[in-house]
């Protein structure tokens, strides 16, 4: 059976317990075996992480040790998928650059705060993760992120929506959802999800459902492959 770990905690304003519950119901409805925990202790178990098909972090801010980040990195590099949303994945563990490298981005601002009305534009309408969804409107925080140019962008939003210092740079297309690879593993991120109700239904829910399942399916494809070819002799974190 496909096995997923949902781990939640950190800043309570993002309703991590409720978001974790959305993900639990989403994955169990697809037949996955799901473990939900409000602890990061599982990140101390390298073999346990490598036995998983999917890791779903729901941790805004907080701290992550170098050892725990390395254990996650090695598990994902060997095929365990990692997927999540909003600050629970890309505003988690701000002091850990390895985490940011794995996930492909880091939140830096949400100009105007919550309640911003904006359009999410699907940039690859034929991609299996967004096919048939189409552009849609949301009213929530609009995330400005620093992102890895290697990300494969599925959806974007236009900044600025409200004027601030960033407005001097003119309009920019900011990624909302992307996929990427980390070794043999699949990574999926969606910037929506400031509150649980934002992702509890509609297009955001469907995007995340597909993204989480896609990330989990990478484990089977990685079976039998080694990661030696990815090693850099001088790498360290």
DSSP 226: -
Distance, C-alpha 59 to centroid of its chain: 11
Q: What is the pLDDT of residue 228?
A: 87
The alpha carbon dihedral of 218, 25, 20, 111 has a sign of positive
Q: Could you identify the residue written with the tokens 């997923």? A: 4
Task: Please report the pLDDT score of residue 136 as a whole number.
Answer: 98
Rounded-to-integer distance, Cα 52 and Cα 231, Å? 22
Start-to-end CA distance of the chain, whole Å, equals 34
CATH number at residue 223: 3.40.50
User: Mind giving me the DSSP string for 53-65?
Assistant: SEEEEEEEB----
Give the bridge partners for 146, in sequence order: 106
- pLDDT for res 237: 58
As beta bridge partners, residue 158 has: 173
Share of the chain above pLDDT 70, in %: 98
Does some domain include residue 196? yes
**What would the pLDDT profile of 162-220 be if each residue is shown by its tens digit?**
999 999 999 999 999 999 999 999 999 999 999 999 999 999 999 999 999 999 999 99
Compute the average pLDDT of residues 2-14: 98
Residue 171 lies in a domain: no
Residue 36 lies inside a defined structural domain of this protein: yes
Residue 89 lies in a domain: yes
209 is a domain residue: yes
Tell me the average pLDDT of the chain: 96
Residue 232 pLDDT: 72
3-state class of 207 per DSSP?
helix
Query: Does residue 75 belong to any structural domain of this protein?
Result: yes
Looking at residue 233, what is its pLDDT? 61
Cα–Cα distance, 115 to 117 (Å, whole number):
6
Which tokens belong to 130? 């967004």
For 115-137, what is each residue's pLDDT tens digit? Answer: 999 999 999 999 999 999 999 99
| Structural domain count of the chain | 1
In a domain, 127, yes or no: no
164 is a domain residue: no
Query: What's the mean pLDDT in 90-113?
Result: 98
Residues in the chain, total: 237
pLDDT above 90 for 6 = yes
Q: What is the pLDDT of residues 179-195, one digit of tens each?
A: 999 999 999 999 999 99
Q: What is the pLDDT of residue 76?
A: 98
Strands (E), the chain: 3-10, 33-37, 54-60, 81-85, 105-109, 116-122, 136-140, 144-147, 152-159, 172-182, 185-190
pLDDT in the model for residue 88: 98
From residue 181, how far is each of 36, 77, 131, 185 by CA, in Å? Answer: 25, 8, 20, 6
User: Which pLDDT tens digit goes with each residue over 52-67?
Assistant: 999 999 999 999 999 9
Domain residues for 49? 3-105+177-230
pLDDT at 151: 98
**Cα–Cα separations (whole angstroms), residue 100 to 31, 171, 213:** 30, 25, 22
Q: Label residue 236 by pLDDT band (50, 70, 90).
A: low
Instruction: Tell me the percentage of the chain whose pLDDT exceeds 90.
Output: 94
Which among 108, 92, 74 has a CA at the least distance from the CA of 189?
Answer: 92
Band the pLDDT of 235: cuts 50, 70, 90. Answer: low
* Residue 120, strand partner residues: 136
């Amino acid at each position: 059976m496909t096995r997923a770990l949902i781990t939640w905690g950190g800043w309570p304003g993002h309703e991590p317990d409720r978001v974790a519950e959305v993900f639990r119901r989403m994955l169990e409805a697809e037949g996955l075996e799901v473990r939900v925990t409000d602890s990061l202790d599982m990140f101390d178990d390298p073999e346990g992480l490598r036995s998983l098909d999917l890791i779903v972090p729901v941790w805004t801010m907080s701290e992550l040790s170098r050892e725990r980040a390395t254990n996650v990195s090695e598990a994902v590099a060997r095929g365990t998928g990692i997927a999540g949303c909003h600050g629970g994945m890309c505003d988690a563990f701000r002091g850990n650059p390895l985490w940011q490298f794995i996930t492909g981005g880091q939140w830096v601002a949400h100009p105007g705060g919550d309640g911003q009305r904006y359009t999410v534009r699907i940039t690859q309408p034929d991609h299996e993760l967004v096919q048939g969804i189409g552009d849609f409107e949301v009213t929530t925080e609009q995330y400005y992120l620093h992102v890895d140019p290697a990300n494969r962008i599925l959806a974007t939003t236009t900044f600025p929506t409200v004027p601030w210092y960033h407005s001097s740079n003119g309009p920019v297309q900011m990624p909302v959802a992307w996929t990427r690879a980390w070794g043999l593993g699949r990574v999926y991120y969606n910037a929506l999800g400031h509150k649980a109700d934002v992702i509890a239904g509609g297009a955001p829910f469907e995007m995340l459902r597909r993204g989480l399942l896609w990330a989990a399916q990478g484990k089977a494809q990685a079976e039998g492959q080694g990661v030696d070819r990815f090693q850099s002799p001088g790498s360290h974190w």
